[in-house]
């Protein structure tokens, strides 16, 4: 019995250590605070360890990210002040991006550095940001993102499209401000 528990711990620790950088990175991008990210990631690890016997053994990283994002959405977002754009009914939500015909200059993305992207990402509503991060940074499929966030695959598709549109707008504004892109260049 004791050996069984030890091997469970070893198995968990081995897998958790492998995915921890992704977990912590996602936590950091969501919270934008190293201290809060540590709390969030640690809490996710503890929850996962306690529920490890119920893990189906298929996709550990997706399972861990699901715990983390659920924790973040349930716990951390409650602390945020002000209107929650991401929590509004998505079908009725006003599209906060420019018109569809606006075609951004792909060159603006070549000038970007990490902090600029992080800042632009921070302005994206949570649900959209989670979907974009999981897709673009963690390389998750739409189905995996749907499993992680607990929403239908169609919603994931919509969130990624909208999230990227908001991000593109933020980055474009940033590029204009920094002079990478001339005013009105993308119209």
Q: Which stretch binds other proteins (CB under 8 A): 56-64, 67-75, 78-86, 156-164?
A: 156-164
Q: Look at residues 102, 130, 105 and name the one whose alpha carbon lies nearest to residue 31.
A: 130
Judged by CB, which is closer to other proteins: 77, or 157? 157
Instruction: Give the binding range for other proteins (CB under 8 A) out of 41-49, 59-67, 76-84, 174-182.
Output: 41-49
Instruction: Say whether residue 36 binds other proteins (CB under 8 A).
Output: no
Is residue 61 within 8 Å of 137, Cβ to Cβ?
no
77: left (phi over 0), alpha (psi -120 to 50) or beta: alpha
Nearest-angstrom CA–CA distance, 118 and 135: 15
Q: Answer yes or no whether residue 17 interacts with other proteins by CB under 8 A.
A: yes
Establish if 114 lies at the interface with other proteins (CB under 8 A).
yes
DSSP 95: -
Q: Which stretch binds other proteins (CB under 8 A): 57-65, 71-79, 86-94, 98-106?
A: 98-106
Spatial distance between the Cα atoms of 46 and 27, rounded to a whole number of angstroms:
15
Q: In which residue are the tokens 């509503």 written?
A: 125
Tell me: does residue 160 bind other proteins (CB under 8 A).
Answer: yes
Question: Which residue's structure tokens are 């001339």?
Answer: 182
Considering the rule CB under 8 A, would residue 171 count as an interface residue with other proteins?
yes
134's tokens:
């999981």
Instruction: Give the tokens for residue 19.
Output: 């995915």
**38 vs 151, beta carbon nearer other proteins:** 38
Instruction: Report the chain's C-alpha Rg in angstroms.
Output: 19
Binding residues (CB under 8 A) for other proteins: these are 5, 9, 12-13, 16-17, 20-21, 24-25, 28-29, 37-38, 41-42, 45-46, 49-50, 100-101, 103-106, 109-110, 112-114, 116-118, 121, 132, 135-137, 139, 141-142, 157-158, 160-161, 164-165, 167-168, 171
């Amino acid at each position: 019995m004791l050996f069984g528990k030890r091997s469970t711990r070893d198995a968990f620790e081995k897998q958790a250590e492998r995915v921890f950088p992704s977990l912590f990175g996602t936590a950091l991008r969501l919270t934008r605070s190293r201290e809060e990210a540590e709390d969030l990631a640690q809490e996710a690890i503890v929850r996962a360890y306690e529920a490890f016997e119920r893990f189906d053994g298929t996709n550990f990283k997706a399972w861990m990210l699901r715990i983390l994002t659920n924790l973040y959405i349930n716990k951390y977002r409650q602390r945020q002040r002000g209107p929650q754009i991401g929590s509004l009914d998505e079908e009725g939500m006003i599209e906060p991006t420019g018109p569809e015909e606006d075609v951004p200059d792909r060159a603006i993305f070549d000038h970007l550095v990490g902090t600029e992207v992080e800042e632009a990402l921070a302005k994206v509503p949570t649900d959209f940001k989670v979907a974009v991060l999981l897709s673009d940074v963690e390389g998750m499929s739409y189905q995996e993102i749907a499993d992680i966030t607990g929403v239908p695959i169609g919603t994931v598709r919509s969130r990624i499209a909208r999230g990227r549109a908001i991000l593109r707008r933020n980055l474009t504004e940033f590029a204009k401000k920094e002079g990478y892109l001339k005013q009105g260049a993308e119209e």
